[in-house]
Amino acid sequence: MTEDLACPICTMADILDAGDGYECATCGHEWMAELSDGLDDIRDANGNLLASGDTVTVIKDLKTDGKVGGIKAGTKIKSIRLVEGDHEIDAKVNGRGLLIRAAFVKKA
């Protein structure tokens, strides 16, 4: 794993694994290992990479529990928030908070 890394200060590749981070054997620089939250590879129905704050469009009519009508295809959703789990998008549609799967939207 440390073969792919290089020191951000001296750019040398002789890196030591320090458990919760890394240390450069050449210059002694220490830095923390980056923790991935799992939200860096969420893609829409067309394969475009999504990020928090994006605007998306619903591509299919979606039924919702407790409210007649649901969400119609073509509805624009602004300022999405990416979350972990089965339904990756947390958004407000018509003043109502919903969780939506990324496969049912496209980036606007």
pTM of the model: 0.63
Q: 5 pLDDT exceeds 80?
A: no
The third-level CATH classification (topology) of the domain covering 1-35 is N-terminal domain of TfIIb (2.20.25)
Round to whole Å and give the CA distance between 49 and 64: 25
CB of 77 closer than 8 Å to CB of 25: no
pLDDT digits (tens, 9 = 90+) for 42-83: 899 999 999 989 999 999 999 887 666 789 999 999 999 998
Instruction: Give span(s): CATH 2.30.30.40, the chain.
Output: 56-107
Domain 56-107: CATH superfamily is SH3 Domains (2.30.30.40)
Q: What are phi and psi of 58, to 5 degrees?
A: -75, 135
